């Protein structure tokens, strides 16, 4: 009996050991760091080994190793082989660095830019290989998008387009939703959402032929509500839902659809001080007198403190986003969405699962005090008038 138990114990030990070794071998072939959920799963299994009986603990550990092996099997990257990709918003920020990054990896890159004669386009031509082509492509201009499509088809001929990465976007001037002009709401929707849809619809025939990838850059603001982003957040939420719908529809064509929800990165989307001053002036000129009196000029002009705040907290290291996009266009089995950046996934989970009151409290604590309160709220008689 003791001999049988000893043999059973050794078998139970051998199986997870072999599986664990196989998982580690698979991990070495994966270019991405170990996901946090895998670390949590390993810790949970260690706890279960201590709490449960040896037999059931080892069974659970073996199952976990099998699941991780299955997961990592789809994480190996396909060969680049000069696959062609289109990137929008290549003038500056994330799109600019992404074009350079993919060019260094050996992709044939079509960099769509807002101004083909601007400094961003000139730098791409100067620093990248001959595989990179700069295309004039304002994503709100259907004529330019169709012209870019014709140039891509003429350049590639029968090679095919492997991936489209919709990155172009604008932030506008973050402030209370009541203060944001309707023109800013419309501009954000035109660039961030309708631009993404227009580019996608134009280039989808090429992606269907290649059975390639569609990658849409959303934002953490599209998955978790954030104060001051009333014109920006909804457009990015629309991008995420658009991507999810297309994922269902294009699976029969073999096209994989992914969206990225980055956290805080200093991409330049917030604009410059000169642009902020113009937007402040625009807000003050267009606000109804009653609204301007309730909020007060001091409160409105203090909104730029929010831009300083997000810039101070934003990371200048784009590598987590770049690596996730590389994985999205190269992995055998890409994820449906990615959340690169500090605490990005955590805030999306908070917004999805926590009661609204708790989420609002955490959001206010995270934002902190960034300026004065609206003028009317600072007046002692205002609340009495309301009640």
Q: What is the tens place of the pLDDT at every residue in 281-330? A: 888 888 999 999 999 988 888 888 877 777 777 788 999 999 999 999 99
295, 218 contact by CB (below 8 A): no
Active site residues: 232
Mean pLDDT of 116-121: 96
Task: Return the H-helix or E-strand segment holding 198.
Answer: helix 195-210
Q: What is the tens place of the pLDDT at every residue in 220-267? A: 999 999 999 999 999 999 999 999 999 999 999 999 999 999 998 878
256: left (phi over 0), alpha (psi -120 to 50) or beta: beta
356, 101 contact by CB (below 8 A): no
257, 334 contact by CB (below 8 A): no
280, 298 contact by CB (below 8 A): no
Interatomic CA distance for residues 375 and 231, integer angstroms: 23
Provide the CB-side half-sphere exposure for 141 (13 A, CA). 14
Cβ neighbours of residue 219 closer than 8 Å, sequence gap 6 or more: 169, 232, 233, 236, 261, 262
Cβ atoms within 10 A of the Cβ of 369, count? Answer: 8
The reported pTM is 0.83
Q: What is the tens place of the pLDDT at every residue in 171-230? A: 888 889 999 999 999 999 999 999 999 999 999 999 999 999 999 999 999 999 999 999
Helix 54-73 vs helix 36-51: angle between axes, to the nearest 10 degrees?
Answer: 170
Single out the residue of 140, 344, 319, 343 nearest to residue 259, CA to CA: 344
The two tokens of residue 193 are 């959402």
51, 93 contact by CB (below 8 A): no
Q: How many residues does the chain have?
A: 387
Beta bridge partners of 337: 259
């Amino acid at each position: 009996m003791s001999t049988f138990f000893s043999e059973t114990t050794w078998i139970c030990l051998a199986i997870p050991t072999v599986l664990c070794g196989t998982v580690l071998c698979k991990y070495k072939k994966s270019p991405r760091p170990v996901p946090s959920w895998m670390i949590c799963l390993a810790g949970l299994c260690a706890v279960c080994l201590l709490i449960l009986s040896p037999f059931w603990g080892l069974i659970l550990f073996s199952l976990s190793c099998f699941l991780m092996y299955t997961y990592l099997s789809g994480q190996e990257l396909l060969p680049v082989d000069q696959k062609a990709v289109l990137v929008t918003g290549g003038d500056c920020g994330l799109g600019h660095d992404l074009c350079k990054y993919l060019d260094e990896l050996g992709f044939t890159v079509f960099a769509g830019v807002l101004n083909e004669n601007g400094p961003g386009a000139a730098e791409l031509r100067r620093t990248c290989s001959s595989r990179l082509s700069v295309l004039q492509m304002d994503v709100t201009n259907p004529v330019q998008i169709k012209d870019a499509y014709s140039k891509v088809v003429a350049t590639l001929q029968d090679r095919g387009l492997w991936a489209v990465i919709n990155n172009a976007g604008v932030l506008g001037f973050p402030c209370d939703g009541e203060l944001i002009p309707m023109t800013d709401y419309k501009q954000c929707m035109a660039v961030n959402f309708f631009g993404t849809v227009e580019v996608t619809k134009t280039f989808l025939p090429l992606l269907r032929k290649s059975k390639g990838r569609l990658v849409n850059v959303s934002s953490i603001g599209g998955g978790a509500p954030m104060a001051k982003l009333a014109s920006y957040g909804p457009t990015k939420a629309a991008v995420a839902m658009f991507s999810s719908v297309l994922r269902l529809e294009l699976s029969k064509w073999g096209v994989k659809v992914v969206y990225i929800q980055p956290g805080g990165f200093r991409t330049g989307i917030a604009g410059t001080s000169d642009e902020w001053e113009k937007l402040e002036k625009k807000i003050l000129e267009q606000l109804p007198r009653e609204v301007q009196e309730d909020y007060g000029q001091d409160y409105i002009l203090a909104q730029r403190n929010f831009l300083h705040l997000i810039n101070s907290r934003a990371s200048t290291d784009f590598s987590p986003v770049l690596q996730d996009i590389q994985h999205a266009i190269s992995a055998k089995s890409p994820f449906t969405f990615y959340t690169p950046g500090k605490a990005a996934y955590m805030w999306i989970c908070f917004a999805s699962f926590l009661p609204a009151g708790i989420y609002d409290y955490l959001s206010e604590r995270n934002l902190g005090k960034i300026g004065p309160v609206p003028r009317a709220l600072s007046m002692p008689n205002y609340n009495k008038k309301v009640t």
